[in-house]
Structure 1
Amino acid sequence: MFQRILRRVTTAANADDGMSTAEYAIGTIAAAAFAAVLYAIVKGDGIVSALTSLINRALSVNF
């Protein structure tokens, strides 16, 4: 009985060794959408001015 259950679990676990083409496509689309959102956020005026201010402050530090 135990051997039969173990064989079923092992077969089910080994049946899906990797991602299929559809899973790769969904992952690629999700990554591209995330990149587009990040690009839109970074491209905004508030972020650009904050980064410029941060860089200016870092470069004007007196040692």
Structure 2
Amino acid sequence: MRRVRQFVGRLRKRMRGDDGMNTAEYAVGTLAAVAFAAVLYKVVTSGAVFGALTSIIQKALA
């Protein structure tokens, strides 16, 4: 049990020292968000998904 408490204590110290993302982490995070948005755009604008969304909206408005 003591080893677990020591480990948790060290982990808390490391977590407290992190003030946020640095520039490289922002760049990677931004790149990942843009890539996800591009994939999501492609999926949503595909024929099958577009047709399904259109029919759902038409049914909701009818």
- TM-score w.r.t. the length of structure 2 is 0.69
The one-letter code sitting in structure 1 at the alignment partner of 2:61 is L
Q: Which of the numbers 34, 38, 41 marks the counterpart of 2:40?
A: 38
Q: Percentage identity across aligned positions?
A: 56
The one-letter code sitting in structure 2 at the alignment partner of 1:23 is E
- TM-score w.r.t. the length of structure 1 is 0.68
Instruction: Kindly tell me the number of residue pairs found equivalent between the two proteins.
Output: 51
Moved over 6 A (4+): none
Structure having the higher Rg:
1
Matches within 5 A, 1:45-56: 45-56=47-58
CA distance in 2 between partners of 1:18 and 1:52 (Å): 41
Q: Gaps spanning 5+ residues in structure 1: where?
A: 1-8
Q: Gaps spanning 5+ residues in structure 2: where?
A: 1-9
- Cα distance per residue 1:22-52 (max 9 Å; x no partner): 0000000000000000000001001111111
State the match for 2:26 in structure 1.
24
